[in-house]
C-alpha cells in the first residue's frame, strides 16, 4: 500500500452578476498611446469574441470580496468531502490581488486571505496552517503541487486548496483587454489515501521563466492620459503570452505525462487554465502533435465562453463543474486520467497528471 494525494471534495463560487459583451458597446477603448481605436466597438468586440471565445463573464456582487467567494467555494468542497473542517491541516489560497473592495483598486492582504478564510470557516484548530500562494494564473495548480509534497512528506493529511479572484476590480476600463477578466473561486479537499493501485496525483512539474518573459503581465497605468492619479491596473502583452504558451506549455505537459507512466491515449480530459479559447485549443493541438496524434474533441472542456478568465480560479471551477455534472458533454468517472495545466504571470507554467 502506498500513500497518494486524492481529491475527495470540490466546490466553486460562480458570481451571479453577468457582464455580457454587449455591455461594453458604450465603452471608450484606447490604445497604449491613449488614442481611440479606429472602427466601432461592435467590430472590436466581435474580433475579441473570435479570438478569446468569451461571450460573457461573471463579476462579484458589490458586497462580496475575494475571500468571501473563496469561503463559499471552500464550504462546498468541505461538504462534498464529508470531512470535519477542524481536521484540515493546511489551507492554501492562490490569488493575485487579495481582497479588493468594490469601488477601490487597493489590494488587501493583511492578514492573508488564507487567514481570513480560515476565520470565516470558523476553523478553531490552531494547527491548521493557512497561507497564500502568489504564482499568477497557475497558482491553484501550484497549490495542488504543494499539497502533494506535504502529504507525501507526512506533514499533512487533509489540505484545502483554493483559487479565488476579483479581477474585475483591478482592470483599466479604457483597455480592451479588460473584457477578458472575471471573478470567481474554486476549491478542493486534497487528502492522503492508501491504495494498492496508483490514484490521485501521479506526477507534476512546474517552471518559471523570468528573463524577457517577466513583464508579459504587469501592473501599469491607465491608457487614459487624462487620468489624474497614478493608479495601476493589470496589463498584458497578449501576443507575447500567446506565443510563449504555444512554445512552452505542450512540452511541459508532455514531460509531466511521461513522468506519470500514463499513455497519451489514457488521458480523458485536459483541464487547462481558461485564458483564451484559441490559445487553449492550439496548446492542446500542439501537445497531441508531439505524439503524432490529433486531439480528440472531447478532451478539452471549456468554460471561458460564459465565465471569462478568473485567473487562479479557472481550473478548480472547471473541474468542479464537470464533477458536479454541470458541463454539458463532459464527465469524469472513476479511473479517468486528467491533466491539470496552467500558464500565467511570472511567466510560470505547471501541470499535474491526476487519476480519479
Conformation bin of residue 346: beta by default, left when phi > 0, alpha when psi is -120 to 50? left
Q: Which domains does the chain have, with CATH numbers?
A: 2-195 (3.40.47.10), 200-355 (3.40.47.10)
Q: For cell 483598486, what's the residue? A: 105
Look at residue 233 in the predicted model and tell me its pLDDT: 93
**What are the pLDDT digits (tens) for 197-232?**
999 999 999 999 999 999 999 999 999 988 778 889
Look at residue 226 in the predicted model and tell me its pLDDT: 85
- The three cell numbers of residue 46 are 466581435
- The three cell numbers of residue 174 are 479604457
In this structure, are residues 221 and 33 in contact, taking their beta carbons and an 8 Å threshold?
A: no
Q: Where are the alpha helices (DSSP H) in the chain?
A: 41-52, 66-81, 113-120, 139-153, 238-260, 277-289, 304-307, 314-323
- The three cell numbers of residue 170 are 483591478
Mean pLDDT of the chain: 96
CA 113/CA 92 separation, integer angstroms: 9
Residue 102, SS3?
coil
- The three cell numbers of residue 129 are 496552517
- The three cell numbers of residue 209 are 521563466
In this structure, are residues 312 and 137 in contact, taking their beta carbons and an 8 Å threshold?
A: yes
Q: For cell 508531439, what's the residue? A: 290
**What are the pLDDT digits (tens) for 62-117?**
999 999 999 999 999 999 999 999 999 999 999 999 999 998 888 999 999 999 99
Q: What is the pTM of this model?
A: 0.96
Amino acid at each position: 500500500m502506498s500513500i497518494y494525494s486524492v481529491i475527495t471534495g470540490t466546490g466553486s463560487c460562480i458570481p451571479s452578476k453577468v457582464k455580457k459583451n454587449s455591455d461594453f458597446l458604450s465603452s471608450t477603448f484606447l490604445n497604449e498611446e491613449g488614442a481611440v481605436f479606429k472602427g466601432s466597438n461592435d467590430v472590436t468586440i466581435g474580433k475579441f469574441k473570435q479570438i478569446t471565445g468569451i461571450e460573457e463573464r461573471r463579476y462579484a456582487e458589490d458586497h462580496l470580496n475575494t475571500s468571501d467567494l473563496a469561503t463559499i467555494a471552500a464550504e462546498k468542497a468541505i461538504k462534498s468531502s464529508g470531512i470535519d473542517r477542524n481536521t484540515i491541516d493546511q489551507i492554501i489560497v492562490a490569488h493575485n490581488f487579495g481582497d479588493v473592495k468594490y469601488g477601490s483598486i487597493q489590494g488587501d492582504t493583511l492578514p492573508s486571505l488564507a487567514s481570513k478564510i480560515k476565520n470565516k470557516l470558523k476553523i478553531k484548530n490552531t494547527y491548521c496552517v493557512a497561507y497564500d500562494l502568489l504564482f499568477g494564473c497557475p497558482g491553484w495548480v501550484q497549490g495542488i503541487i504543494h499539497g502533494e509534497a506535504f502529504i507525501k512528506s507526512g506533514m499533512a493529511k487533509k489540505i484545502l486548496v483554493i483559487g479565488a479572484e476579483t479581477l474585475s476590480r483591478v482592470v483599466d476600463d479604457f483597455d480592451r483587454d479588460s473584457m477578458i477578466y472575471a471573478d470567481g473561486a474554486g476549491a478542493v479537499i486534497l487528502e492522503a489515501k492508501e491504495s494498492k493501485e496508483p490514484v490521485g496525483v501521479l506526477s507534476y512539474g512546474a517552471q518559471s521563466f523570468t528573463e524577457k518573459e517577466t513583464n508579459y503581465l504587469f501592473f501599469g497605468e491607465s491608457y487614459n492620459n487624462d487620468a489624474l492619479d497614478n493608479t495601476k491596473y493589470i496589463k498584458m502583452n497578449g501576443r507575447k503570452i500567446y506565443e510563449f504558451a504555444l512554445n512552452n506549455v505542450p512540452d511541459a505537459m508532455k514531460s509531466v505525462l511521461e513522468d506519470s507512466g500514463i499513455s497519451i491515449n489514457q488521458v480523458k480530459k485536459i483541464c487547462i487554465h481558461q485564458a483564451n479559447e484559441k490559445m487553449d485549443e492550439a496548446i492542446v493541438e500542439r501537445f497531441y502533435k508531439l505524439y503524432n496524434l490529433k486531439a480528440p474533441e472531447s478532451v478539452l472542456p471549456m468554460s471561458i465562453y460564459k465565465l471569462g478568465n478568473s485567473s487562479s480560479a479557472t481550473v478548480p471551477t472547471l473541474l468542479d463543474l464537470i464533477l458536479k455534472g454541470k458541463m454539458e458533454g463532459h464527465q469524469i468517472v472513476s479511473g479517468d486520467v486528467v491533466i491539470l495545466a496552467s500558464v500565467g504571470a511570472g511567466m510560470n507554467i505547471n501541470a499535474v497528471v491526476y487519476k480519479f
